[in-house]
Structure 1
Amino acid sequence: MNIVKEEIKALSNWIKIISINSHLIGGKVPTDNTDIELPSYVIIRSSWGKTITIDVDLNETVDHLKAKIQNRESIPIDQQKLILGGEVIEDEDTLSDYNIQFGCTLYLLILSDGGIYGLFIHPDLLDRNYDCDFTDVNDNGLTFMRGNVVYKRPYGWKRIALNVLNKYEDNTWLVGVSKRRRLTNSVQNEWPVSYHGTAKLNCRTIAEDGYLLCKSRRFLFGRGIYSTPDINVAYRYATKFTYEGSDYRVVLQNRVNPNYLKKIPNEITEAGEYWISPDESDLRPYGICIKKEDTFWTSDI
């Protein structure tokens, strides 16, 4: 289904693809081994495709890191924006304030005339055959299941599908091992669906790299990658952005490995059900959900 192109244009104005060849590129710290020299740097990837490493002290401030980038690349500090997990990190904070570890990847954007330039979605990241417009969908009381868990479809949103077929060792996590008899049914061995509220720039990094634990700043209910089966919960954590006078929100749609999934019910969070995946590989994004703020509505379905 080919959804309205306006949403693609809105995302394209904000999201930059630098490389599409890797799944996880940063955030891993080597295990303890006397024969392995631990890194003492972070990776800086620029919006024009250049990658450099900068030696850092994790207790130094962000503006100190920017000064090193200026010395290395002759980019004025006041023109640099450093992005971690879709979030602009602030000059006065330390790297450790953001849970940045050696080997983490930061994204460098350059300000030009008060705005960020050079942002677009690479078409190779998308699979337009699976786009779906849920804006006015009414399921008339039907219950959908994925991975033997209730699938709360993203009503009121448009989903832009990511190109994930054959991205991993097999496609079982997405399509199961048997044919789906009805659209509402689960199939054997598929993973259930969750949502991750994300800042606009984070969509590109997650679509490219997957989820990285080093980008997760807060672990309220334990360490891991947080998501939720309810897009209305994820909505509250999605950063708003503006394009041509309209406000948008962006949420990632994922499949989650049920074997290692920790569920925190609403009775404990008082903010909706949380799902925690202990490892990056247990959460796989397969769609970008986007909607205009003026069309937002909530559903108890």
Structure 2
Amino acid sequence: MAVRMDLCLEALSALTGCRVEASAAESQLMPQDVVNIAALKQFYRREGLQELEYPSLGSLSLGGPDDEDMYSAPLAVEGAPPPEPLEGPPIKINPATFFDPRFDYDFTNVKDGDRSFSRGEERYVRPCGWRRVALRVLGYDGGDAWLGTGPDAWPVSYHGNRMDGALGVTAIRRGPALEGAEPGALEEIEPGPVAGETYLRGVYSSTLVGVAEGYCKRFRSRGDGKTYKVVLQNRINPEQRRQCQREGLWVVTVAEGSGPAQTRASIQLALRPYGLLLKED
């Protein structure tokens, strides 16, 4: 059974902080924009900014607490819709060009046990317990090998809205730490902008959906009154990430002094969404 479209739109609204609505016209947001906005809002909040300027959308407020559940106020009258917390004009997307139902998958009752999967020659831990709504992402510049299962494919990672350096991690990078070290050995890098800190400027994601779930967005659907969790399933560029000491955690760093356009480009080169994961809370 397909996931209800109204639920998908509410999930996108929760991720972006914008009221997302369906339209037959050209989409104002594409799947890459969703991960850009979701990731950058947390990043810029960490930087102490109050607004995020985004092309075609204008200024997006960063002032609200991101861990508040959307539509969480109690209903005053049974059957009445909860108050709408989102401000500004709605963002229109065309479901026919935004989603790709050919690749939807229901992992709700899947248990992989000892079964093993890989993407890009790295372990792929499937999002068991979740339902995936596939995003239409074929046709990036450079081809679609990043979405495959072979050696050129990118590994899978999961992003929750509140994942950032507050996880308390130090990043490490692949490469010989000392002369004579084995190829592929892990080398610790400077743990932050100030000596002794563990925070690295950038966007965090995990190879484990359970880690992302702990930092994900929750929202109450106006369609059925139930509360859902939403996580983004991405592919992460193995050349543009840094591994953290915490198992299964990666960071895509953003250089000091990067402007908004350069920051968005850094994220797009490294983190591409291909699935919207939903789970009843």
TM-score bucket of the superposed structures, by smaller chain: 0.5 to 0.7
Query: Partner residue of 2:105?
Result: 132
Compared with structure 1, are the counterparts of its residues 21 and 257 closer, same or farther at alpha carbon in structure 2 (3 Å cutoff)?
Answer: closer
| Alignment of 1:171 onto 2:136 | no
In the TM superposition, what are the counterparts of 1:39-58 in structure 2 within 5 Å? none
Q: Report the secondary structure of 1:198's partner residue.
A: coil
- Could you tell me the TM-score, scaled by structure 1's length? 0.54
Structure 1 residue corresponding to 2:278, chosen from 290, 293, 298: 290
1:154 shift after superposition: 0.3
| Alignment of 1:242 onto 2:216 | no
Amino acid at match of 1:107: L
Query: Partner residue of 2:64?
Result: none
Compared with structure 1, are the counterparts of its residues 287 and 173 closer, same or farther at alpha carbon in structure 2 (3 Å cutoff)?
Answer: same
CA distance in 2, matches of 1:140, 1:157: 16
Residues 153-189 of structure 1: CA distance to partner in whole angstroms, max 9, x if unpaired? Answer: 00000000010000333111112xxxxxxxxxx4121
1:137 shift after superposition: 1.1
- Identical-pair percentage: 29
Compared with structure 1, are the counterparts of its residues 113 and 225 closer, same or farther at alpha carbon in structure 2 (3 Å cutoff)?
Answer: closer
- Could you tell me the TM-score, scaled by structure 2's length? 0.58
Query: Partner residue of 1:122?
Result: 94
Query: Partner residue of 2:115?
Result: 142
The answer (yes or no) to whether the contact 1:11–1:120 under 8 Å persists in 2 is: no
Question: Structure 1: which 5+ residue stretches go unaligned?
Answer: 28-82, 176-185, 200-218, 267-271, 294-301
Amino acid at match of 2:279: K
CA distance in 2, matches of 1:275, 1:22: 21
CA distance in 2, matches of 1:5, 1:220: 39
Query: Partner residue of 1:4?
Result: 2
CA distance in 1, matches of 2:30, 2:209: 29
CA distance in 2, matches of 1:228, 1:188: 20
Query: Partner residue of 1:259?
Result: 239
CA distance in 2, matches of 1:187, 1:196: 23
The answer (yes or no) to whether the contact 2:32–2:273 under 8 Å persists in 1 is: no
Q: After TM superposition, where is structure 1 displaced by more than 6 Å over at least 4 residues in a row?
A: 101-104
| Alignment of 1:192 onto 2:152 | no
Query: Partner residue of 2:249?
Result: 274
The answer (yes or no) to whether the contact 1:163–1:286 under 8 Å persists in 2 is: yes
Work out the number of aligned pairs and report it: 193
